[in-house]
């Protein structure tokens, strides 16, 4: 079941004779939204809640909770995604011919820099799908390299939880293909 992270209640005003209008979904989680982002990512989620959470920034989740809606943010997925990304990159670097620990470490650090991850996220087009808090929306945080890089890591964590290491490795390998050819 999807969390109620992306809706708002228009409410009612009995003094004006208005009836309660049901909550309106900001994101279409039953169709086009998921199909579009999954196509862009190159991965189809079995559990759409994982994708939803990976795209939800902490500020958005806190605002939803203030409105008594159940909503979890991407933070723990970012931590998991960072670890999975490191493991996959080390694997790819070894297979690409890196021979020493120092060589692997320096190349891994280069590949996982914020600006590189943000570029991949921009190329995939995840920015418009990131669920931001009100202040983040005003500042167009979904265009900021840090937010894009963090969300990419959260998506990696969600892919790992949904499909396992091999699924995450396949997606990461595709995203980093240009670095290894």
Residue tagged active-site, from 82, 136, 150, 162: 82
Buried/exposed 32-42: b ≥16 CB within 10 Å, e otherwise: ebbeebeeebe
CB 177 within 8 A of CB 97: no
Residue tagged active-site, from 52, 73, 150, 153: 153
Q: Catalytic residue at 153?
A: yes
Q: Which two tokens stand for residue 23?
A: 């909550």
Residues with Cβ < 8 Å from 5, sequence gap 6 or more?
52, 56, 60, 61, 64, 69, 70, 71, 72, 131
Q: Which two tokens stand for residue 35?
A: 């199909």
Q: Catalytic residue at 103?
A: no
One DSSP character per residue, 76-137 reads HHHHHHHHHHHHHHHHHHHHTT--SHHHHHHHHHHHT-HHHHHHHHHHHT-GGG-B--HHHH
Neighbour-count burial of 98, counting CB atoms closer than 10 A to its CB (0-12 exposed, 13-18 middle, 19+ buried): middle
Catalytic positions, please?
Answer: 82, 153
């Amino acid at each position: 079941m999807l969390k109620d992270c992306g809706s708002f209640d228009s409410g009612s005003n009995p003094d004006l004779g208005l009836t309660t209008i049901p909550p309106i979904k900001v994101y279409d989680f039953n169709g086009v939204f998921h199909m579009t982002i999954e196509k862009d990512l190159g991965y189809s989620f079995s559990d759409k809640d994982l994708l939803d959470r990976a795209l939800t920034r902490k500020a958005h989740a806190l605002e939803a909770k203030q409105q008594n809606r159940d909503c979890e943010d991407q933070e723990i997925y970012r931590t998991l995604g960072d670890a999975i990304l490191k493991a996959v990159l080390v694997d790819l670097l070894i297979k690409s011919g890196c021979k020493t620990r120092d060589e692997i470490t320096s190349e891994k650090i280069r590949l996982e820099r914020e600006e590189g991850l943000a570029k991949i996220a921009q190329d995939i087009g995840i920015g418009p799908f990131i669920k931001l808090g009100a202040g983040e929306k005003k500042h167009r945080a979904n265009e900021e390299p840090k937010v894009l890089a963090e969300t990419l890591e959260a998506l990696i964590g969600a892919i790992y939880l949904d499909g396992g290491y091999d699924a995450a490795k396949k997606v990461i390998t595709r995203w980093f293909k240009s670095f290894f050819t």
